[in-house]
Amino acid sequence: MKRFARILLLVLLVGGLWLALKPTLGKHRFTFLPFRWSEYIDLMDFWLNFGAFGILGATAWLAFGSFAKAFRLILLMTGFITLLNVILELAQSSIPGRAVDIADVWAGLLGCVLGIFSSMALQLWSIRKKADVTAPQVLFLDQTGRLGGAELMLLDIAAARAADSEVLLFQDGEFRTALENVGVKTRVCTLGEEASVVDKQAGLKRILRSIPSILELMLQIVQAARSFDLVYANTAKSLVIGGPAARLAGRPLVFHLHDIIADGHFSTLNQQALVLCANFCASSVIANSEATKEAFIACGGRAELCTVVPNGFHIPAQRTSAETMKSLRASLGIPSAAWTVLMAGRLAHWKGQHVLLEALKSVPAAHAVLLGDALFTDEDRQYARQLHAQAEELGGRVHFAGFQKETMPYFDMADAVVHASVYPEPFGRVIVEGMLAGKPVIASRAGGAAEIIQHEHTGLLVSPGNATELADALLRLQNNSAFASSIAHQAQQTAQDVYAISAVQEKIESVIRQVSGRHQPESTSSIIPSPCAA
């Protein structure tokens, strides 16, 4: 289509020029223009119009990359140019010896009205056409092929709109397989070696070395984005690379912020780069908790961009059978009657698995299952080795389950769930998963975790990094089963009411439609209250 428009424009320009310069061919006259050269000079306004018209039309087309937009602009310009002609015609009448040519004035006014009105009519038509109920085509971006919390959330969002979405990953892996299993189209544009080692803590030197491969990926995203209505960056790195790319492609961008932009999570340089990109490239920022939103604003992020949408979860109709739980315990080496606490999530220092192991020293009868693996960095892998060493001191009471795709049986077979992040958790999916499983949850009093749990009602909150408080909370649950089941029951009800995936997907879709300028179909336009405000 674009190529056709370009060829057409070229033909029109060449044809127009030919008609202007060579008005006759043999005996046939091809133009309304005068014959003599001197008469052309007299028609300066024609030449000016012709040149301006051609240059502006071509520039508009190049700038907007769309024939329809350029055509609309050309019509508008014709309107204004003819209006200018009328004014000039009237002004020339004040020159002695020149009179107003009424026919010219009327023709000019007609051209002006037709040009301006038809351009406005086209504009209205294209807005109405865009605003129909067809779903916007979205290109999702994510930097990793691994399955972290942000990726599990994207899996659900993209699956719900699989026919109108594609996910572009910077790395291949099990995330791509999971997306394809639910019918989502994917493509992998790998980031070069230098850039893939740039993490949230990277300094200037590492970032500079990665620039060539970042630019290459950026160009690939620009190309891909042109076939979509909107670009949706799901991670920090995908925003920094995809944000400018979306701008270059002329597509609006939604940034899903899953991280707390603060020390401990990002280096100062990365914090600044992230906020700068979000402020300049994003039309909307979806924060997964109030804590995430506040940290973004505290770093200089534009508050008016933010909408808080928590993670959503499928509520399974059936939980794990007693038999499966029994054999799972046996396979992990947990005595069948042992009081067991589950900690799920990737092994990383800030997730605080070491705090739980420290607390276990004061809860002698308890066993712990660590579900998850070191997913992203060398520091995480080193931390995992330290945890294994720390676990040895606990005499076989710590069970490493590794990363599992199917997590529900682990939540179901546990007596309590612990979340022990030492820095504020942006959201904390595992907390909601524990609540949905009907288990009492203990979490760190910070970030998104403190928004999900109401202390003493839907769980227990303890100070981040405080093993003594955690041990006390564990003992309380272990020794008071009535209290444990009461908070677990209330938590399950709250989680089912607030974090159902369908409501969350609707909120995300509403942001997508708003940013892409499409109306929400009536059946899905209801406003859902923010769970974080609940």
> What is the binding site for ligand UDP (CB under 6 A)?
147-150, 152, 344-346, 371-372, 403-404, 407, 427-430, 433
* CB closer to ligand UDP out of 108 and 148: 148
* CB closer to ligand UDP out of 213 and 311: 311
CB of 234 to ligand UDP, least distance (A): 11
CB of 343 to ligand UDP, least distance (A): 10
**Residue showing the smallest CB distance to ligand UDP in the complex:** 149
CB of 4 to ligand UDP, least distance (A): 46
* CB closer to ligand UDP out of 108 and 428: 428
* CB closer to ligand UDP out of 282 and 344: 344
CB of 448 to ligand UDP, least distance (A): 8
Taking alpha carbons only, the member of 284, 288, 226 closest to residue 251 is 226
> Per residue, what are the HEC states of 347-407?
CCHHHCHHHHHHHHCCCCCCEEEEECCCCCCHHHHHHHHHHHHHHHCCCCCEEEEECCCCC
* CB closer to ligand UDP out of 251 and 429: 429
* CB closer to ligand UDP out of 137 and 171: 171
Tokens of 165: 């979405």
Q: Which residue has 């800030």 as its token pair?
A: 350
Query: Within 13 Å and on the Cβ side, how many CA atoms surround 229?
Result: 16
CB of 487 to ligand UDP, least distance (A): 20
CB of 117 to ligand UDP, least distance (A): 54
Beta strands at 253-257 and 284-287: parallel, antiparallel or unpaired: parallel
Listed as own residue / partner, the contacts of 249-253 with beta carbons closer than 8 Å and 24 or more positions apart are: 249/221, 249/222, 249/223, 249/225, 250/64, 250/65, 250/226, 251/139, 251/225, 251/226, 252/283, 252/515, 252/516, 253/281, 253/282, 253/283
CB of 417 to ligand UDP, least distance (A): 10
Beta pairing partners, 67: none
Q: Measure Cα distances from 96 to 91, 93, 100, 388 in Å.
A: 11, 7, 11, 100
Beta strands at 416-418 and 340-344: parallel, antiparallel or unpaired: parallel
Q: Which residue has 């993209």 as its token pair?
A: 158
* CB closer to ligand UDP out of 46 and 350: 350
CB of 287 to ligand UDP, least distance (A): 14
What is the spatial distance between Cα 438 and Cα 416, in angstroms, rounded to a whole number? 9
CB of 352 to ligand UDP, least distance (A): 12
Rg (CA), the chain: 32
* CB closer to ligand UDP out of 78 and 494: 494
* CB closer to ligand UDP out of 251 and 265: 265
- The number of beta carbons lying within 10 Å of the beta carbon of residue 132 is 9
What is the spatial distance between Cα 68 and Cα 46, in angstroms, rounded to a whole number? 25
Taking alpha carbons only, the member of 418, 421, 376, 142 closest to residue 258 is 142
Taking alpha carbons only, the member of 267, 415, 258, 411 closest to residue 345 is 411
CB of 430 to ligand UDP, least distance (A): 4
Question: Cα–chain-centroid distance for residue 311?
Answer: 13
- Residue 209 has φ and ψ, to the nearest 5°, of -65, -25
